Each structure stands twice: as structure tokens, then as C-alpha cells.
Amino acid sequence: MAKASGFDILIVGAGVLGAATAYWLSGLYDCTIALADSAQRPGAHTSSRNTGVIHRPYYLDPVKKRTFARTALLSRRLWESLAEAEALPWNPVGTYNVAVEDREVRTVEKYRAWGVENGMDEGEMDLLDGPGVRSREPEVRCRGALFSRTDVSVDFGAFTRSIWRRAVARGVRFLQGRELVSVRKGEEGTEALFRSGSSLSSVRCRLLVNAAGGGALKIAHSLGYARDLAALHFRGEYWVVDQPFASRVVSNIYRPPAFPQYPFLDPHFVVRADGSRQIGPNAVVVPGPYVYSGVGFTILPRFLERPMWPKARLFANSDFLSLVVGEWRSSLSKQAMCARVRMFVPALSPDLLNRRAVFGVRSSVVDRSGFIPEALLIKGESSAHIINFNSPGATGAPAYSALVVNELREAGLLDGFRPSSASASIPGWDFRAVTSQL
């Protein structure tokens, strides 16, 4: 085993959350920080494998999803400054939330009220009837819709790599290709054991920040935290829509989910940052956070892992089970996926779907009452764990990571680290200004 190295702070997970946390910490403290990831490059997993939409918070319940809503609201302008500073794609296409059935008209009206309650300007949203939508989007059929003008299509993978570069320029050390395999509390902090190929190395730190996305709950469990929570993994699959039909739709088209308590969204028609069009994602149950191919019939061994109760209760629910089966069907057949989008884009046909796009996996955390609506920050003696950081996590990551750092500070976990006088290296990313609005 290689000799142990030591850092003041070790962040595990170089996705958008870990990279942004490293950026804030390296600007605030004059201390040694390492950012470790099992992948060779930052943002290799969910942060690059998503729909790529900066969501405005109109569809987020202002009570149950308050933190996601607030951090999404505040982060848009931070992303915009980064995109400008680094000339990254910024495609302000807007999003229609379409009511396919009469009862969904009430949902999109409620979304408008939620948008205002969550801090959006009324002028950012238009409520339209079916003909109003059709006059703007001739391929779309619906009873009505809420149009959110300020949703933007971006490349979150490119954003992650830019923040990571800024953090590395401030002295953060990137430990690439290192998979955290075990972790334990030591005399003065935490000791982490990493595997890299066939070799093992150990890293000591005073504070471990676990931002390992789909791997985060396992790490928290190994230190004895959140043992009553379990994770379920849902793969979201996409199809590319062929031209020239694709360009006849110019904005993102979403439909409100039928069961908002579950992480099953009806597939959307989306305009990507590069202008291509895709439909997706579905939500196929798979055995782990990085299972990007195959259908999830091998889930049983994972299902039997402890704690089993939260999962068992869900799988005993007939609504949940029928949704799981529906999603498997849409994984096996593009006709099934297409049929769901044809409910609002009727001219879309399976012949226009000839290429699968990049898939991503959402790891949703459940307790005995079902899916947990927000991300959780668990603070230990010398470690902190962010779990369930799901959509719209990429949208809200700049402000959410600032909130994490602020909470670590208030909990005394950053006491003893010398303050730094580094100025914001991304224009507009001012820690105090962001946290004062949270």
C-alpha cells in the first residue's frame, strides 16, 4: 500500500456539487484541499449525463422542495456569468409545461403560483390555452400550458469542468481515478482508503466532504450515518430526434408528472445546448448508480441489501409497481417511449428515433415514508455527507454548495482553518452575496 498522504479537507466526488464545493472552500480558506473521484476526469457521471436544462423553480412545491427551489432560483445568474466568462453554450429556449388532459390545466395554473411564491417574476411566465400554444409551437397539441421564458439549455458537464479548473488554479489537488473503498474515524479526523487499479492508498483529512452522488449514501453508511435510508437507482434513457422534423419544435416541452411523489417523469421533448433535439428520459430501475446498459432484472441482490424496509414498502405499492413496469417497457421499445411523447407532439413517429443518446442514472433516497423530496446534508464530527442531490441539482449546484459550506461553517466544522483573501475568480460568484439570499 502507498504511503498515507494528508489534507485539511478531502472532498469525495468531482461532479458539479463536489467541484463547486471545492471552488468555494478554496476561496474562503488557506488550507490544503483534495478533490477525489473514481473517474479520470471531473463531471464524468450524472453531471454530464442529464437533460441539460437550467430549470426555473415554478414546478417545485415551495414547502416540500424549498431548498431546491431557492438554490435553483439564485443559481441561474451564477451560471450565466460562468457561461459568459468561458464562452460556454447558453441556449435560452424556454420550457412549455403542457396540460394534455383537462385536470392538468389546474396543475399548470398551480405552477404559475408556485413560480411567483418561489421568487420568479410574473413576467417570466405565460399561461396559454391550447390554440395559444399551437400558434407558437405548431407541432404541439394540448389543452393549455405554462411557458417559462427563462429556462435555458446548457452543458452541465462543461460547466463542471470549468469550475473544477478554477478550483485547481486555486490550489485544489485533483486525485483522479481513486475510488473510495473504505473510510473510518481516526484520532484527528477521518482516514479514507482509495483503490486505483490494483493499488491501495490512504488519505488522512481533518474534514471529509462526501459529495459522491449515487455513491454518497454508501459512504455515509460506512461511517454509521443515515443507516435508516436506502437508495434506489433509476436510469434515464434518451433518443435523438431526426432532422428536419426535430427543428419544427423550438422549445422544451414537458408534461407534469402524474405521480409527483415518485421520480417518474413523462419523457419530455428537449432542445439540447447544441441545438439537437431529444426525447427522454424514462426511469428504469437498475441495480446501481453507474449501470448505463442492460435492463434491470438483476436488481434483486441490491434490493436485499440493508436497509430493506424502505424499498419493500414501495414495491408493495401497486401504483409504484405499475410505473416501474411501464418504464421497463419504454426501455425495451422505442415505440413505447415515442407513444408517451406523441400525447403532446402527435406527428413524432418511431421512424424519427434512430439513435440512442447518453443515459444517466438518478439515485433517489427513500425512508419508511417513501421518496425524500430534498437533498440531505448530514453533519458528523469530522465529516459531512450530501445525499439525494437530484434534479434540479445541477441547476442549483452553485448556490447549494455555498449553502453546504455555510452550514459547515456554522456547525464549527471549518473552525481552525485560516481565512483566505482570494477574490471571486468567476465573475459574480460572491460567497457572501449568495449565502445572504439563501
Ligand X SMILES: Cc1cc2nc3c(=O)[nH]c(=O)nc-3n(C[C@H](O)[C@H](O)[C@H](O)COP(=O)(O)OP(=O)(O)OC[C@H]3O[C@@H](n4cnc5c(N)ncnc54)[C@H](O)[C@@H]3O)c2cc1C
Contact 57, 68 (CB under 8 A): yes
DSSP 30-93: -S-EEEE-SSSSTT-STTTSS--EE--GGGS-TTTTHHHHHHHHHHHHHHHHHHHHHT---B--
Nearest to 368 by CA among 228, 264, 259: 228
Q: Are strands 95-99 and 252-254 parallel, antiparallel or unpaired?
A: parallel
Nearest to 371 by CA among 437, 409, 323, 326: 323
Q: Which residues are CB-contacts of 365 (< 8 A; sequence separation ≥ 6)?
A: 217, 229, 230, 231, 371, 372, 376, 387, 388
Contact 285, 323 (CB under 8 A): no
Contact 207, 382 (CB under 8 A): yes
| CB neighbourhood size of 189 (10 A) | 20
CA angle 100, 104, 105 (to 5 degrees): 95
Q: Which letter does DSSP use for residue 233 in this model?
A: E
Nearest to 357 by CA among 285, 269, 289, 295: 269
CA angle 266, 267, 269 (to 5 degrees): 130
Site residues (vs ligand X, CB under 6 A): 12-18, 36-39, 44-47, 50-53, 55, 179-180, 211-215, 236, 281, 360-362, 389-395
The distance of closest approach from Cβ of residue 115 to ligand X in the complex, given in angstroms and rounded to an integer, is: 16
Q: Which letter does DSSP use for residue 126 in this model?
A: E
**SS3 state of residue 344:** coil
CA distances from 299 to 48, 74, 285, 286, 304 (A): 24, 38, 8, 6, 9
Cα 394 → chain centroid: 5
How far is 148 from 233, CA to CA, in rounded Å?
29
